[in-house]
Homo-oligomer: A and B are copies of this chain.
Amino acid sequence: MKQQAICPKFEKAISLLSRRWTALVIYQLLLGTQRFNEIQSAIGISGKVLSERLKELEQQGIVIREVIPATPVVIEYSLTEKGQSMEPILHSIESWSQQWMRTELD
């Protein structure tokens, strides 16, 4: 029995989104440009993993890192067009979670 192979583009997207924190970082940046510490405190990720994730997302062309020459230098992270285009993914997760997820509180 021949199994249909999974599309490599889809598999790549899935492996990106299946890394812990990746989706939450993108979700956070959908709210707008943010700095390292803002993202960190918003989602509760460690500095180490956040810096790894931001580098990965930069390499994938999803996030841009901008060094603003102020005093002191400010580093801003935002989504590229590719990153922005992930909004429907995050929103489908969000609306599914509202319909189907139960926490201890409800």
Contact = CB atoms under 8 A, between A and B. Distances in A.
A93 interface: yes
The count of identical subunits is 2
Interface in A1-27: 1, 3-4, 6-15, 17-24, 27
A94 B10 contact: yes
Nearest to A20: B18
A49 B58 CA distance: 30
Task: With a 10 A CB-CB cut-off, give which of A6, A9, A15, A38 has the most chain B CB atoms.
Answer: A9
A69 interface: no
A57 to B, nearest CB: 13
A45 to B, nearest CB: 11
Interface residues of A, number: 43
A7 B93 CA distance: 12
Given A8-B103, A18-B18, A18-B22, 5 more contacts: A13-B94, A13-B96, A14-B23, A86-B96, A92-B92
20 contacts: A1-B38, A3-B38, A3-B42, A6-B24, A6-B42, A7-B94, A8-B105, A10-B97, A12-B103, A14-B23, A14-B93, A17-B17, A17-B23, A82-B100, A85-B100, A86-B96, A88-B92, A88-B96, A89-B92, A92-B92
